[in-house]
Structure 1
């Protein structure tokens, strides 16, 4: 690696340009590919979940629609004068059996979801129409079930059970039974019972054709499968039903060595509808797309390399000629060069070089003096802005964390330190938004929390209305530093630092409060006058007076009861401040 770096450093400019650009391109392309791969994987995952969720919700809606339609049809049926008359008289009186059969048949023919209808009066007389398997159903069997009492408590409302909750079991398939008590529409007294059976085959066919080998399971309120795809075996069915969770949930599950997504939803009457979709096919499509992108990037790389080679030679050749002409500078001979008369960058470089040669001697002295002044000014600026002890403590913390192998904490404190000093050393406007000031404080506190190993917690109570308002730079940092240094740092109990900002009657009210050791009046007076631990608070108070008319700067403290600093100043927006 060292030999390669040495070779690059000593290589010709044309070679460096090609190598550098190719390196940048490869890194950029790799980053793009990895980012795209991650994004594509996330998007595919979200798409699969969304499709599964939409599918299961559609199936649930179809099932609800069938049940609601059958419910409405049953209401119409039991409200008819014919049914009411027959049930009141406890037998056929005003109507013949054929009339009742025809009446029931009309309802089953009107809506093909209804497989059969059974009606019983209070004496057990039975009236029914059956379009499918004959069911050994009777009023006696209904009353012997464990859900019969629940049916009476519904006062005419319906309940759903599979095969009438066990009232019949002599059929070759399952039926969803909608059952209700029939009340006299005049007296509301019970005069009979109704059982409307819906074939599960019809319900399954209403779900439509599923893609990607999607399987469907419908479970009753006891998680017992009612409807399931024909290609699900018993063990697989058991595994899926045990994996289904309540609510609208999507989850991944490995079934028979293949990854599936199980989407489930629980409807209003407690039944669970689930779809099971294999994702291997979608994953294969994603892999094909990745290969396509990789090949496309490789072709682009070759074309890019050829283009860079051509561009590199077109730039470096005239530069090489100019460099040879200017080589006398190394011997201290500042003479003008004339190799070409063009208006391109090489010609401009030649002209600038000649101007430089003519002015070089004069500029030497000016540059020396300017650099001295600049270094002095930069040093003074750094001395005013940088807090050496904070920087030292931060590096000390980084060292300790690094030695103890806490790499994540090292990363956090380095990132926070960089962001903090980026704002801290910003030589732009003297005022910033409160939001920018708070962001800098957050980075400062991140470092302190790591340094003091979460010795304290921070409670932020910030009104969003104050965030765009203006504040002098570095107003809050001395207050926060004071709370930690003099209040929380040496306090044996867990520290709490409250930072609040609110807008009241056109004034910004900012409070910084701690539950630390506090101080007496003498210590507080020394701190405010800059006689204790630097002049940070004193400078802050004076700066506020320069920026605002009659600002409030107040610090309250009591020994053993913490400290509270409050500053109040007029609310000024950024555009107002610029004006």
Structure 2
């Protein structure tokens, strides 16, 4: 009784020293990091203001240039008497005189304006043109602009408007006015000055959005996709470590944007980089000091204590990873290593042998399944080519390559339901391209089921089987329904996978074969047979499946839910034990 009253409370020496050392270092680290972060944020704000200022200057210049080209072209269209006379004149000699006078006018426009890069006047129902372009436009761009203008004339749907033309390396804002078989077109280079925005660093994108079209000033990697750029609104926004600034061009549908990846790093100054690197690498000497203090005594003792605790649970596959110069501790460690290795080798020898046999059988079944699928696809391609339908064969080969990548890239037997459904969608697209008749698919997947994992090809095998039998005698459009339901019952969580078609149903002989597949017995339904064998290896008896006819053929499979790291053969087998 006296011993119980005087029992001492045990404490961890390693824990006490570690907490003290970590607290001191963490306090210094947090203070230094806070000052550095304040400095970086300040530098970032300065660069943001600089970028915004450059964008605003460019937009203001662009607005002035657009206003100038618009007013100039309007004066030619509405106020030039020679142009008006040309639109009405039928006599060829007089037309020639008017054209000569207009040519002088447009040359004067180009020579006296710093903004206008080209003026075109079309007449004779747009068959003839007089034009003048600035010297900055090379011959290739000139040819492209003339062809673009011809396209505008042939596809015009209203008397006036604006658009952006893209040539070899430039983008031109174009304004046009049309009257009585004649047209006036003016354009300006909208890329002028846009390079002054930002610093042309890697990951930096700048350009112009015209409704659903995007014109980039460089070939940098796009930070956002096309839809995200098109939906940007005026102002500055952030997405993680990315920054996007958007400015509307007044009087147009244009938006100028600047986007930069890793903006915080790009806005940092040299001394901030040095401080950040020093702060980061300060972790190493701190850890080194702590390691030297604990290496010789604390860590070896803690390692041996943890190892003994693991041995108490019945797990013998343990190792020591910490070295020590103390002879006594080293001898104890060596003795424990020898003992645990001998016990582990004896204990797992039988289990490993059994597991190798199961894994070899699983690999055989997978290899047996893949050639079956490949051969079917190759037969479909051959049939299409023999019939002379070559147009969509290239698309089918791309879809088939997706199948190959899906089957070959997986290192485990399990995939997420969401991934398997992408594979099924791809297979259905192949079916629509290569089979006669249409296939309509209706898919219902519970949100909770998408992240659950199932054996690879568990759904696709049923879909392929349904199409194989439903298409034969079906004269109407084939309808395929895939429903995956997440169920919670007293026995646990399950996935209910149902594939239904609107065909005539399984033939009775086939239905009998599907419902009576036995282990070791060969079946004509190779895909279904292999799937059952794989499921049997993975789940033992904890699954069910059914095949029956009800307004078509129905294939149903019920599997226990597995998620994340649970999806491996060993863990499922251990649960089934």
Do the two structures share a fold, i.e. TM-score over 0.5? no
Q: What TM-score comes out, normalization by structure 1 length? A: 0.36
Q: What TM-score comes out, normalization by structure 2 length? A: 0.36
